[in-house]
Amino acid sequence: MLPQDLHIHSTWSEGDASVVSEQTIGLIAELRHARTVGISDHFELVGEDSFEAYSREVWAAGLKVGMEIDGHRWLPAAEIAEADYRIFHCYDRDADYKALDRLVQTGQPVIVAHPNALDTNLDRVPPECLVEINNRYIWRCNWRSFYGPFVDRFEFVVSSDAHQPHWLGQTVARYVAAELGVREKLLFGA
């Protein structure tokens, strides 16, 4: 079991073409692939008016309520929406770095989403922010040179950014095997 996974999308991110209809809050909660599980659907796709219904469903499933905010434009609505933490797309623009300053003042965790995929300048990110190592994007960059200089400046979280059940690792296959009562044959002295 993973220690935590706070970047997961569900069917509440309808409109994101990568999300499949099976990626429900119920299934994610049942899979329990991590000790701490948080849902972080795209704020603009959930919609301001539906955010409360979304958070109710996530909390009722025993999961943490997050959101993924696409830049400063969504800040006014996103900062007042009730949640446990926020994930932010910080593009390399003044207004986005300023938005991070504002979000930090909520007193709740602020995670900078996959900075390597957005050309975020980590030098300009407030050190109170958490920086994400994102399973979907991390392998697409020279992560040693991108993240290496900042390992002492920030604290980090590791996330799946799962949009589909099998993005949660081997979890689905293991879940099914367990449900079937199948005991996996471990090879090579595992």
Say if residues 121 and 145 touch (Cβ distance below 8 Å): no
Among 37, 112, 113, 162, binds Zn ion (CB under 5 A): 113
Using CB under 5 A, which of the segments 29-37, 45-53, 104-112, 113-121 binds Zn ion?
Answer: 113-121
- Please identify, using beta-carbon distances, which residue of 18 and 170 lies nearer to Zn ion: 18
Cα three-residue angle 34-38-44, rounded to 5 degrees: 145
Write each residue from 56 to 95 as x if it is in contact with Zn ion (CB under 5 A), else as -, in one continuous string: ------------x---------------------------
Task: Give the Cα separation of 129 and 156 in Å (integer).
Answer: 9
DSSP-based three-state secondary structure for 33: coil
In the complex, least distance from residue 117 CB atom to Zn ion, rounded to whole angstroms: 7
Q: What is the DSSP string of 106-129?
A: TSS-EEE--HHHHT--GGGS-TTS
Among 161, 162, 165, 167, binds Zn ion (CB under 5 A): 161
- Please identify, using beta-carbon distances, which residue of 63 and 113 lies nearer to Zn ion: 113
Backbone phi, then psi, for 76, in 5-degree steps? -55, -45
Residues that bind Zn ion (CB under 5 A): 68, 113, 161
